[in-house]
């Protein structure tokens, strides 16, 4: 009996040890680092699930490869998934952090989201025809989000975590020890509770351009301009505050920072900050105002209608944007 046990034991050890060195996946790429506005304030009156901050839409290249030989056979494909909050960062209350992918928002720690991507067999690695391995190169489209959720702790701060890894990308069955694609948010420890949320008004509530003549069209020339204001009202608190805003097109496309109506691509609309002599970006947060005690802050804008063609399409058109504001 003693002789048989000496033969069986090493065999068992080999079987147990082999998977631990054969199933590793290495995914890498520039996930990006994102810094929240310093002292981002979340109104206690907001409904749970309200987005209080979201990054611009992101598109990142990801490269994955199997780290070692897989006993399943090199021809087998390995599905690749997203894992939310892979480092299990703790949030005490008031907010939750996650990512938007495929039109949905995911925030649950450890949640696994299929990307729909699988590895493929690639040969000729390092110029050697016999060197083969599983690889996947793809582009991941996503954004990072912070949402209102629950009640802030008595300290008014949601977490002590300053550096928050939002998600990572790995093989379908497990998380590797090495995670090199890690989109990260900074300043989360500075997010604080606020008594109330400012209200936003667009004055006027919609913009109508006067009639222009197509015969005057000249590519790049301003055909007409209309002034409007964004007004931020916060009557429930007299504390100093600043704010950021974001314009997101809904019935138009973003063409190099210009709104182009879906129903007439021969014209474009630029949203201009006349006080700064700059054009407000689209799909990106920008500073709206800083350091004000006033109950109502009025920020001037101008909508410039530009010709995009010398022979434009004749007829009415419409373009819309969603305006979001966050305060701190």
pLDDT over threshold 50, residue 52: yes
Q: Are residues 117 and 263 in the same domain?
A: no
Using a 10 angstrom Cβ sphere, with 0-12 exposed, 13-18 middle and 19 or more buried, the burial of residue 36 is: buried
Give the residue among 274, 278, 290, 284 at the shortest CA–CA distance from 321: 284
Distance CA 140, CA 224 (A): 39
pLDDT of residue 77: 83
Q: Are residues 186 and 212 in the same domain?
A: no
What is the extent of the structural domain holding 254? 199-327
Q: Are residues 276 and 308 in the same domain?
A: yes
DSSP category for residue 309: S
Range name among 28-37, 140-149, 171-180, 247-256 with the lowest pLDDT average: 171-180
Where does the pLDDT of residue 12 fall: very low under 50, low under 70, confident under 90, or very high at 90 and above? very low
Model confidence pLDDT, tens digit, residues 247-291:
999 888 888 889 999 999 999 999 999 988 899 999 888 988 887
pLDDT over threshold 50, residue 1: no
pTM of the model: 0.68
pLDDT of residue 125: 60
pLDDT of residue 8: 33
CB 184 within 8 A of CB 34: yes
SS3 for 6? helix
Model confidence pLDDT, tens digit, residues 121-160:
877 666 556 567 788 999 999 999 999 999 999 988 999 9
Model confidence pLDDT, tens digit, residues 231-252:
988 777 667 778 888 999 988 8
Give the residue among 58, 155, 56, 152 at the shortest CA–CA distance from 96: 152
Q: Are residues 111 and 177 in the same domain?
A: yes
Distance CA 186, CA 287 (A): 18
Q: Are residues 120 and 176 in the same domain?
A: yes
Look at residues 173, 194, 215 and tell me which one is the last residue of a structural domain. 194
pLDDT of residue 2: 30
pLDDT of residue 118: 92
CB hemisphere CA count around 251 (13 angstroms)? 6
Give bridge partners of residue 42 from the DSSP assignment: 193
pLDDT of residue 64: 92
Q: Are residues 89 and 132 in the same domain?
A: yes
Residue 116 lies in a domain: yes
Q: CB under 8 Å to 286, separation ≥6 — which residues?
A: 244, 245, 246, 280
Question: Between the CA of residue 296 and those of 210, 228, 312, 326, what are the distances in Å?
Answer: 29, 15, 40, 15
pLDDT of residue 67: 62
Using a 10 angstrom Cβ sphere, with 0-12 exposed, 13-18 middle and 19 or more buried, the burial of residue 200 is: middle
21 vs 234 pLDDT, higher one: 234
Look at residues 194, 226, 252 and tell me which one is the last residue of a structural domain. 194
Residue 68 lies in a domain: yes
Give bridge partners of residue 111 from the DSSP assignment: none
Q: Are residues 68 and 168 in the same domain?
A: yes
pLDDT of residue 70: 45
CB 260 within 8 A of CB 313: no
Residue 17 lies in a domain: no
123 vs 6 pLDDT, higher one: 123
Name the average pLDDT for the chain: 84
CB 166 within 8 A of CB 188: no
Using a 10 angstrom Cβ sphere, with 0-12 exposed, 13-18 middle and 19 or more buried, the burial of residue 240 is: exposed
Where does the pLDDT of residue 3 fall: very low under 50, low under 70, confident under 90, or very high at 90 and above? very low
pLDDT over threshold 70, residue 11: no
Look at residues 136, 170, 194 and tell me which one is the last residue of a structural domain. 194
Q: State the CATH number of the domain containing residue 276.
A: 2.60.40.1090
Where does the pLDDT of residue 83 fall: very low under 50, low under 70, confident under 90, or very high at 90 and above? very high
Give the chain's domain count: 2
pLDDT over threshold 90, residue 46: no
pLDDT of residue 5: 33
Q: Are residues 129 and 227 in the same domain?
A: no
């Amino acid at each position: 009996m003693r002789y048989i046990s000496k033969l069986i034991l090493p065999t068992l050890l080999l079987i147990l040890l082999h998977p631990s060195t054969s199933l590793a996946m290495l995914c890498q790429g520039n996930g990006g680092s994102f810094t929240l506005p310093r002292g981002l304030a979340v109104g206690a009156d907001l409904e749970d699930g309200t987005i209080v901050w979201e990054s611009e839409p992101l598109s990142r290249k990801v490269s994955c490869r199997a780290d070692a030989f897989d006993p399943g056979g090199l021809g087998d494909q390995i599905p690749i998934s997203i894992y939310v909050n892979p480092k299990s960062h703790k949030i005490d209350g008031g907010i939750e952090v996650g990512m938007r992918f495929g039109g949905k928002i995911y925030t649950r720690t450890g949640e696994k989201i299929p990307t729909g991507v699988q590895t493929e067999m690639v040969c000729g690695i390092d110029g050697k025809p016999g060197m083969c391995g599983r690889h996947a190169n793809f582009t991941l489209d996503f954004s990072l989000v912070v949402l209102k959720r629950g009640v802030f702790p008595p300290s008014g701060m949601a977490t002590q975590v300053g550096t928050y890894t939002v998600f990572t990308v790995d093989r379908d069955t497990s998380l590797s020890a090495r995670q090199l694609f890690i989109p990260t948010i900074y300043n989360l420890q500075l997010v604080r509770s606020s008594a109330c949320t400012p209200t936003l008004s667009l004055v006027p509530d919609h913009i109508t351009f006067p009639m222009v003549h197509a015969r005057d069209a000249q590519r790049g020339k301003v055909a007409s301009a209309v002034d409007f204001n964004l007004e931020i009202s916060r009557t429930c608190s007299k504390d100093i505050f600043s704010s950021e805003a974001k314009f997101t097109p809904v019935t138009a496309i973003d063409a190099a920072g210009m709104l182009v109506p879906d129903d007439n691509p021969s014209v474009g609309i630029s949203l201009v900050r006349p006080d700064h002599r700059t054009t407000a970006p689209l799909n990106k947060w920008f500073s709206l105002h800083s350091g004000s005690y006033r109950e109502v802050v009025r920020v001037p804008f101008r909508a410039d209608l530009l010709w995009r063609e010398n022979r434009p399409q004749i007829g009415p058109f419409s373009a819309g944007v969603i305006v979001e504001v966050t305060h701190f």
